[in-house]
């Protein structure tokens, strides 16, 4: 299958959606959340072996990547793949470990790693191909893990700045 190019947005980079769950996927939207060093208040991971901890406190994903995947026929939606923050208007393919991101006025994150695809996401993908969001197989289409450098509250629509 040929992959669709990422759609770019003319709008300012912003927090499209905040997602939490009591463990597992999908994570469901909330209008605001407190971001702490150990993660998003109200969110829990089913398996702490591969998720959570200070270097995987917040999972980020791109609205534009999600929309491009939907164009390919996948049933993914914001929050379904387990990301805490769905960002829009960000040049996703250029983000990499070491980059810093500010969300809203106070929250600062440092990208630590690309997020390995999880088989619990297979249901959102054609033929169960959850590795469609693997950085190794499809660079620039992965979710990202970040550590929290500065805590605070984020709200849907907050501005996102790459520092």
pLDDT value of position 9: 45
Residue positions counted in the chain? 163
What is the dihedral angle through the alpha carbons of 48, 106, 6, 135, rounded to the nearest 10 degrees? -30
pLDDT value of position 55: 87
The CATH number assigned to the domain with range 14-162 reads 2.40.33.20
pLDDT mean across residues, the chain: 90
Report, as an integer, the average pLDDT of 124-128. Answer: 94
| Confidence band of 44 (pLDDT split at 50, 70, 90) | confident
Q: Which two tokens stand for residue 48?
A: 């702490």
| Percent above pLDDT 90 for the chain | 78
């Amino acid at each position: 299958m040929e992959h669709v190019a990422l759609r770019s947005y003319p709008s300012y980079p912003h927090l499209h959606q905040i997602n939490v769950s009591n463990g597992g996927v999908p994570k469901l939207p909330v209008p605001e959340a407190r971001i702490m060093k150990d993660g998003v208040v109200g969110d829990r991971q089913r398996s702490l072996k591969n998720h959570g901890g200070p270097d995987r406190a917040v999972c980020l994903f791109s609205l534009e990547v999600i929309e491009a995947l939907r164009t390919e026929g996948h049933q993914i939606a914001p929050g379904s793949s387990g990301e805490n923050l769905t960002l829009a208007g960000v040049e996703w393919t250029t983000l990499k470990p070491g980059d810093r991101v500010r969300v809203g006025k106070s929250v600062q994150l440092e990208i630590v790693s690309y997020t390995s695809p999880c088989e619990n996401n297979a249901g959102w993908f054609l033929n169960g191909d959850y590795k469609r969001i693997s950085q190794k197989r499809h660079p620039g289409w992965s979710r990202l893990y970040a550590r929290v450098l500065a805590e605070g509250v984020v709200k849907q629509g907050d501005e996102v700045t790459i520092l």
